[in-house]
Structure 1
Amino acid sequence: MAKNFALIGAAGYIAPRHMKAIKETGNELVVSYDPYDGIGIMDSNFPQAEFFTEAERFEDFLGKFARENDNKIEYISIASPNYLHKSHIRLALKSGADAICEKPLVLNPADIDELKIIEKETGKKVYNILQLRLHDSIIALKERVTKELQANPDKMYDIDLTYLTSRGKWYFESWKGKEEKSGGIASNIGVHFYDMLCWIFGDVEENIVHVKTPDTNAGYFKLKNATVRWFLSVNYDYIPEEVKEKGIRTYRSITVDGDEIEFSGGFTDLHTKSYEHILNGGGFGLDEAYGSIRTVSTIRALRAIGLQGDYHPFCKKVLAE
């Protein structure tokens, strides 16, 4: 039987993937909410869905729907700005729905502890979109590493993570460019990569930041079974020239012991896979989110040390020796 969904943050960049996932899993979007009303994308997905630009009217609709219908709203999907996630998850749970929330789930580990209490109070559940755990190439890497670590539990891998996704000047005027709202570069574009690495190679044991500017974060992790040099940026200038020549504005690379892990494709369907996983009794809850949220919260608090120690080579694009 089709499930009823609501969506908070219907006008955002990632919202169409949630709409697509709801539709492709055979479910119904009953209502959506966003302060911004430019969401023509609704017409090609759920044109009959109710829509509100005011939170009070949205909440009123949720209550009225629950009273007047045999089929309640079972899931509320959340694609709002990062700093609002905790409040919107709380609203979902207290409305009697499970929450499906974009990454980063929240900005601080203490927020997860609070949401655990609300889960117990309401009997409802929080699911986090950790889509890389469902990517075929990443699953294959985890299976390979798990097998190798069974044979050699002390093995340490050498990893370079590089992710550049160009953004224009608008980015820094939006909530995404405000650290207190987005959590900063590491939270906004890096948190799911950190989750994926810790899922495969173990928890963070050492965390160092080399670069911290408004458009770039870079640093070093020691995980249980890997060392990681990472570089994240929204600055187009740092993209390798050979990539720019192809007219591409995004560069994504993960090397493990010098070998490139190919995972450039297969991203557009991962939200649908995430929804299928949840609806089939799986999904990634609060406990799975804790490690990566703790990591980005720590990065936010650390001072950048510059070109010292084992830093990512791209750091020299930002800092002079």
Structure 2
Amino acid sequence: MPKLKKQRVGIIGCGVIFDRHIEAITANADDFELVALCDIDKRKLDIRAKEHEVFGFTDYKEMYKIMKGKMEMVSIATPNSCHYDQAIDALKSGYDILVEKPIDFRNKRVEEICAWAKKLKKKAYAVLQVRYNPTVGMVKEALGNNLLGDIRSVTLTQRWQRPESYFDSWRADINVGGRTLYEVGIHYMDIIQLLFGLPEVKSSATFNNKHKYVEFEDTVFSILQFPSGASGSLEVTIASEPSNLECTLSVMGSEGYIEVGGRALDKIERAMFLNQIFEDKWNKLVGKFGKSLEPNSYGTHAGSCPNHPTLYAEIAKGKGIDISEAINSIKFIERVYDKEIK
């Protein structure tokens, strides 16, 4: 597929993830150009707009109106509850969109965004950049080649740390930030459903072990069953100390075992096979993929691997992650909370 023409981009939201988008645009300067910024914090906006020599707006609707004909794509990096309205309004204003996670807290509203994009013949992309971790590509190819045989069990263990100051903002408001899985677990739950299908959630339990003044949980446990019949479990916590300890995906099959770990699903910890032929195939497969990037550091805490440059590069090729791809990860989260033991 041929590359698209150079796209002029406006970013809404100059918060913690803003720099990842700037890095991605800079890394793909032949394909993207930053032309406008928007943030309700005028002081922050003025600093960023001056730094990047672009137009600055405190009202995203004003940006949509004034930048008409001067901008093709909008990257939405605002607090979670803002994404839906800003995405719909961007599409109606004639722009393609790239939306940070979570697209919304309800899968039906993500479907509405998809419907508007289709109706208006605009592109709508999701920031699900963990899919570009080389480790994910390795496991996906191993499964495609049936190196593990029949899958028996899948386990995700995400033991991360978030300081109390993490919630000194909109993230503490359940109506704005959502709950822990929407803010922290979503990228890795997306990988589970991508590789193994959307699971049925048998039961869930939530706990508030550290952030007791916040109105929702910091720890989630769930029992799962996948479409193949394989069993599974999910553990997501932001109560670990002193830092992110692990994000581990363990896959047990009839022919072997693969464990992807590190702090952000960025390292192959173990790969063992009953069959030497399968082990040789695995070793050959691993050589095809590069090394994962170091996880994002935000000073007080760390996050996922910063694959935004790859994300933008794929968009330039016309192969970005369509926003419809985000629906099942939202469904997965909804299922976990629907089965929560009260």
Cα deviation code 1:192-215 (max 9, x no counterpart): 111111111122133421334321
Partner of 2:281: none
Cα deviation code 1:163-187 (max 9, x no counterpart): 2332222233422233222220111
Asked whether the equivalents of residues 38 and 45 of structure 2 are also in contact (C-alpha less than 8 Å), the reply is: no
Partner of 1:315: none
Which AA in structure 2 matches 1:13? Answer: V
- The alignment partner of 1:188 has SS state of helix
Structure 1 35/164 Cα, relative in aligned 2: closer, same or farther at 3 Å? farther
Report 1:1-321 matches (<5 A). Answer: 1-10=5-14, 12-26=15-29, 27-36=32-41, 37-38=43-44, 42=48, 47-52=52-57, 54-55=58-59, 58-66=60-68, 69=69, 72-148=70-146, 152=149, 155-213=150-208, 214-225=217-228, 226-237=230-241, 244=242, 248-257=243-252, 259-262=258-261, 263-264=266-267, 265-266=292-293, 267=295, 268-304=305-341
Asked whether the equivalents of residues 186 and 299 of structure 1 are also in contact (C-alpha less than 8 Å), the reply is: no
Structure 1 300/41 Cα, relative in aligned 2: closer, same or farther at 3 Å? farther
Please provide the CA RMSD for this pair. 2.4
Asked whether the equivalents of residues 201 and 335 of structure 2 are also in contact (C-alpha less than 8 Å), the reply is: no
Cα deviation code 1:237-294 (max 9, x no counterpart): 4xxxxxx5xxx44432222226421415425441111111111011122331111111
- The alignment partner of 2:321 has SS state of coil
Q: Out of 296-305 and 186-195, give the one that drifted further.
A: 296-305
Which AA in structure 2 matches 1:159? Answer: V
Q: Which structure has more helix as a fraction of its residues? A: 1
Which AA in structure 1 matches 2:163? Answer: G
Alpha-carbon deviation of 1:20? 0.9
* Whole-angstrom distance in 2 between the partners of 1:49 and 1:207: 50
Which AA in structure 1 matches 2:8? Answer: N
Alpha-carbon deviation of 1:14? 1.2
Which AA in structure 1 matches 2:132? Answer: L
Which AA in structure 1 matches 2:307? Answer: L
- The alignment partner of 1:148 has SS state of coil
Corresponding residue pairs, total: 284
* Whole-angstrom distance in 1 between the partners of 2:227 and 2:40: 43
Alpha-carbon deviation of 1:65? 2.7
Per the normalisation by structure 1, the TM-score is: 0.80
Alpha-carbon deviation of 1:77? 0.3
Structure 1 296/284 Cα, relative in aligned 2: closer, same or farther at 3 Å? same
* Whole-angstrom distance in 2 between the partners of 1:123 and 1:142: 31
Structure 1 6/217 Cα, relative in aligned 2: closer, same or farther at 3 Å? same
Structure 1 7/43 Cα, relative in aligned 2: closer, same or farther at 3 Å? closer
Per the normalisation by structure 2, the TM-score is: 0.76
Structure 1 144/233 Cα, relative in aligned 2: closer, same or farther at 3 Å? same
Asked whether the equivalents of residues 8 and 77 of structure 1 are also in contact (C-alpha less than 8 Å), the reply is: yes
Which AA in structure 2 matches 1:222? Answer: Q
Q: Give unmatched runs, 5+ long, in structure 1.
A: 238-243, 306-321
Which AA in structure 1 matches 2:121? Answer: G
- The alignment partner of 1:195 has SS state of helix
Identity of aligned residues (%): 25
Asked whether the equivalents of residues 218 and 231 of structure 1 are also in contact (C-alpha less than 8 Å), the reply is: yes
Asked whether the equivalents of residues 104 and 192 of structure 1 are also in contact (C-alpha less than 8 Å), the reply is: no
* Whole-angstrom distance in 2 between the partners of 1:303 and 1:205: 13
Asked whether the equivalents of residues 96 and 124 of structure 1 are also in contact (C-alpha less than 8 Å), the reply is: yes
Cα deviation code 1:23-54 (max 9, x no counterpart): 1111211111112233688479x6201222x2
Q: Give unmatched runs, 5+ long, in structure 2.
A: 209-216, 268-291, 296-304
Alpha-carbon deviation of 1:119? 1.5
